Amino acid sequence: MSVNDALKHFDFYKTIQTDIRDKTVAGGAVSLLAAVIMGMLFLCETYSYVQGTPIHSITIDDHDNVSPTAGAFWVNFDITLPAITCDHISVDVEDRLGSRIFDIQKNVEKIPLDKEGVEAAILPDEIHIKAPDGHVTLKELQDVVANPDIFKRTNDTVNLEADKFMEWVQSHEWSLVSFRVDWCPWCQMLVPIWKSSAVILSNREVPVPLATVECTKHMDLCKEAGVTAFPTIKLYHWGKHVAPDYKGKRTVNDIVHFAETAADQKAVAEKAGVNVSDTHRSDVGCTVVGHLFVHKVPGRIQLSLKSDTHTFNREAVNFTHQVHHLSFNDIPETEEEMEAIMLDHEIQDKVSRWLSQTFTSHTKHTMHEHYLKVVEYEYKNQGFGWANANRIYEHSISSHSYATDSHLPAVKFHYDLSPLQVSVEHQSRPWFSFITMVCALVGGAWSIMSVVNDVATSSGLGKMFADAKTLRASS
């Protein structure tokens, strides 16, 4: 007996002669469906094997002992304040180590918004034409100071009433209006400077009259004009507001120069893309976007109003806000790495759960405080998942708001880091488990589809397809 004959005795897969097997249309359809199902099951099982099974564990976070950027991380934020202009918004950071940094400018961008929430032109800080030293001569100042009646007279500047405001500004080609309140010390300091500037402009025959609006009496007008800080000086051209509000020095020299170059100031504003066709300023809100470098200790990030030369109107401060994004991540080594993390939507969906939630100030003087508990997640052996971030920081959110009479309203984000770390390790199954599952899936699919084929054949579906084919051929 030959070796081939001996092997035939161990044949488990005995074959049937080809000439007694019949191919049917129903069998072909079932076979194609079986091939698709087995292929899909094979791909799904392969992906599951490569991806692995996530195993969660909780350990003490000790990465700061070995990390090159130990003890610090980034805070990324994107927050819209629809009722606060960008002029005086300050981004501040404080922490338990005693660090206190106010009005952070680096890596922070403030984007003006109009009433519809559309982004307006971003103006440079030095948009006003700078006044040269000595533009107002010493003799002119001495002449003003030498006349004590000037500061008692009321005809050099105009005190505008609310019902006469529009008529007055529309009747002059150019005009400067100071919005003030009596109890503001900065407004009181501006009075002699404002009157002196009006006298010098009159002596120089400059057709730019100066006026004053007392916001204590006409608060509705001041709110409509978008005034939240005192004093605020605005330039008007035939009744249309020329943005931005005056940001120069409050000296006679600078105010006189600003008035004399009003037409040039308007041209600069238009070139920067400012809307100069509205009666009042068109930007009413602000989006604050950026990222901050903070210590890994309990701390606070705050959005508030700050100015060294203004007094704020608490009645007009509304810190309703919408948090589009707020997250924490390790300090990237390059800008490209930072950009990749910020653009990875799968990561961002996990680390920022704010979902553009809006927090509304339902009453005056509302303070908003958010408490964040930050937990570090470390991912190992992630396979084909979002493996470009080995460590991410998730956080819980607890938000509160209340009325305060002792402080200016603000938005505060208190953050605290958990000492525990959640480790997620993706463990792959043994190779033989993968082969076993593939065989089971393919074999099971083959067996089930064989039963389906037998049912289809025995029920006459195959004969139905054959008769239909014969009928089409004869016709």
Query: What are φ and ψ of residue 12, in 5° steps?
Result: -85, -20
Instruction: Tell me whether strands 411-427 and 366-380 are parallel, antiparallel or unpaired.
Output: parallel
Residue the block writes with tokens 């002792």? 406
Residue the block writes with tokens 């300091």? 189
* pLDDT for position 364: 83
Q: Above 70 in pLDDT, residue 166? A: yes
Q: Above 90 in pLDDT, residue 226? A: no
| DSSP class per residue in 281-350 | -S--EEEEEEEEEEESSSEEEEEEE--SS-EE-GGG----EEEEEEEEEPPPSSHHHHHHHHH-HHHHHH
User: What is the rounded distance in angstroms from the CA atom of residue 101 to the CA atom of residue 99?
Assistant: 7
Please write the tens of the pLDDT for every residue from 350-385: 667 787 889 999 888 899 999 999 988 877 765 544
Instruction: Tell me whether strands 53-60 and 311-312 are parallel, antiparallel or unpaired.
Output: unpaired
Above pLDDT 70, what percent of the chain? 79
Residue 454 structure tokens: 């037998």
Map residue 235 onto helix, strand or coil.
Answer: strand
Highest mean pLDDT among 2-11, 85-94, 157-166, 308-317: 85-94
Residue 311 structure tokens: 């007094």
* pLDDT for position 228: 86
Above pLDDT 90, what percent of the chain? 29
| 124: DSSP letter | P
Question: Would you place residue 93 in the very low, low, confident or very high pLDDT band (cuts 50, 70, 90)?
Answer: very high
pTM of the predicted structure, to 2 decimals: 0.75
Residues in the chain: 475
Question: Would you place residue 387 in the very low, low, confident or very high pLDDT band (cuts 50, 70, 90)?
Answer: very low
Residue 316 structure tokens: 């007009």
